[in-house]
Every structure is written in structure tokens, then in C-alpha cells.
Structure 1
Amino acid sequence: MAHEEDTPKQQSGQEKPVVRRDKVVVTKVTSQELSIIKSNAEQCGMTRSDFIRARSLGYKPRQRLSDTELDGLRQLATCRTDMVNFANALHGLTDNEKIKLFRHQPTMLDWYEKVAYVTNSVTDFLQSAQTVNSYPAGTTNEEAKEEGA
């Protein structure tokens, strides 16, 4: 096989073979195409070479999450923790204590406000994740639309 020649024999104690890439493929692109390639590779957290190799071998690299998306995931994790803590607290109560708690209006209003905040945060994040290619309302700048700002 052709690719076996490119892979040196396994070094002692190493499980994976070392892949030596010594073949070069050259192609010409326009400055605009190069800019797009650089941008796409950067968005995926890859070098241009790795990005082009992945795409040419039929892979579709995923873009890294933006800082906003990462923040949304962190908030979602915090919301989940809050909900688990609440559920655990309820499990520790007897049925009579639960009835007494749920009949206490100030406690229920406080609980509702906290739960509404959590569910609204989850809903906001899920909606933003489903509409990643949209632009903020009120944006009239055509450049901002294309940049996703």
C-alpha cells in the first residue's frame, strides 16, 4: 500500500504509528480565496494546511464555539446545577413538608422567580444556538450582516 511507505515503523513503546507527511501539493488561489481559507481555518482552530487536508479528504471541520456561545454553555451548565440542587432539596423532604412548602405563597413566588430565570436563560440560549447565522435586530450595516456581528 502507498501510505504504508509514508508511515515509519512504530517506535518502541508507542502505540500509534508516526505519520510523516513529506509530499507537497501546491495550488494557486486568488487573494480572496486565500482570505476565505485563512478565515475558515482560523474559525475551526486549525492551520491552513490541516484545514485544506481535512476538506480535501472529505471531512467537514466544525467551527469553534464563539465566546458568546461558550458563555451560553457555561450559563446552561449553571442552570442545570441549580435545577439539580433544587430537585435534590425536594427529595430530602417528607410528603407533609412538601405540601407545607408548596402551600406557602411567599416561598412559591420566590421559587417561581428563580425557576423562570433559569428556564428563560435556557430558552434564550437554545434559540440563539438555532439561529447562529442571524444578525441582531436593528442592524442596517450590510457588512455587519455578512460578518455575523
Structure 2
Amino acid sequence: MTHEEDTFNQESRQKKPVIRRDRVVVTKVTEQELSQIKSTADQCGMTRSDFIRARALGYKPRQRLSDRELDGLRQLAACRTDMVNFANALHGLSDNEKIRLFRHEETMLEWYEKVAHVTNRVADFLQSAQTANSYPAGTTNQGTKEDGA
């Protein structure tokens, strides 16, 4: 077998099979429902057809993060870095040094104020992300509560 034949065989095995969708499902919706479908599909970065197919097959597409949410995610990553650096610094201290540090009220108060800011930012971001990822009421079976859209 030549190198070209071997390469061709590897490429043909690695290619994903082409799925031909040639069946059509038609449904009627109101103007408001169509608008909502278009809007939600756009928010998820999907075509209407892909979005409807995903929902009909039981998948729960996630909406793309807004610029505000992406900024929040970046800030959380920076906060995590700070927390890891703090934990690493503490890890390097002896037990006696840790006890002295934690008994120093001014240092602990300053640390608490910084940590409280970080935890508040995390809570705000999580609340924002959870709200943005939920589907409007009435789009699903009222008896079924879906988790995370």
C-alpha cells in the first residue's frame, strides 16, 4: 500500500458521515410564537430549524453569554487567580505564622472585605447567568420544570 493510499484510507475513516435531512415537518405557529422562536434561536446561535429540532428531540440549547456575562466570567477568572495565590501564600506559612495572621484583626477584616466583594460578584454573575438561560414561561409543558433551559 502506498503512502497516498494509506493517507486516503485514514481520511475517509476520519470524516464524519453526512446526515441527509430530507424529511419535512410542518407546524403552524402564531406571529408571537414565531418571533419568540427566532429570538431564542438567535440567542443560542442556532438556526430556527436546528433550534426546533434540538428542542423536539429533548435537547436544551444554552443561550450564548452576553458581553456583560463574558466580562463577569473574565472577572471571576481573575478572582480565582487571586484566591489561588492567597491559598498558596497561606500554604507556605508555618502553623504559628498562620495563627498569628488569623489573630490579627485588622488583616482579617481587610481580607474579609476583599473576599466579600468577590463572593458578591460571583453571586451576581450566577444570578444573571441563570436568568439569561431560562426559557420564557409558556414555552414548555407547565407541569415540567426544566433545569437550565
- Same fold flag (TM > 0.5): yes
Whether 1:34 aligns to 2:18 is: no
Partner of 1:50: 50
Structure 2: any 5+ residue segments left out of the alignment?
1-10, 135-149
Q: CA RMSD in A?
A: 2.7
- 1:99 counterpart letter in structure 2: I
Partner of 1:73: 73
- 1:16 counterpart letter in structure 2: K
Structure 1 residue 38, shift from structure 2 partner: 0.9
Report the TM-score when normalising by structure 1. Answer: 0.64
After superposition, what is the alpha-carbon deviation per residue over 1:9-39, rounded to whole angstroms, capped at 9, x for unaligned?
A: xx72325311122334444444333222211
- 1:43 counterpart letter in structure 2: Q
Distance, in Å, in 2 between the alignment partners of 1:128 and 1:33 is: 25
Is the alpha carbon distance of 1:109 and 1:59 closer, same or farther for their aligned partners in structure 2, counting shifts above 3 Å? closer
- 2:60 counterpart letter in structure 1: K
After superposition, what is the alpha-carbon deviation per residue over 1:31-59, rounded to whole angstroms, capped at 9, x for unaligned?
A: 33322221121122100111122223333
Partner SS state of residue 46, structure 1: coil
Partner SS state of residue 80, structure 1: helix
Number of aligned residue pairs: give it. 123
Structure 1 residue 105, shift from structure 2 partner: 4.3
Partner SS state of residue 14, structure 2: coil
Partner of 1:85: 85
Is the alpha carbon distance of 1:99 and 1:26 closer, same or farther for their aligned partners in structure 2, counting shifts above 3 Å? closer
Distance, in Å, in 2 between the alignment partners of 1:127 and 1:57 is: 28
After superposition, what is the alpha-carbon deviation per residue over 1:88-123, rounded to whole angstroms, capped at 9, x for unaligned?
A: 100001123223333444433332322222222223
1:114-129 matched pairs, under 5 angstroms: 114-129=114-129
Is the alpha carbon distance of 1:120 and 1:25 closer, same or farther for their aligned partners in structure 2, counting shifts above 3 Å? closer
Partner of 1:143: none
Contact 1:41 1:48 in 2 (8 A): yes
Report the TM-score when normalising by structure 2. Answer: 0.64
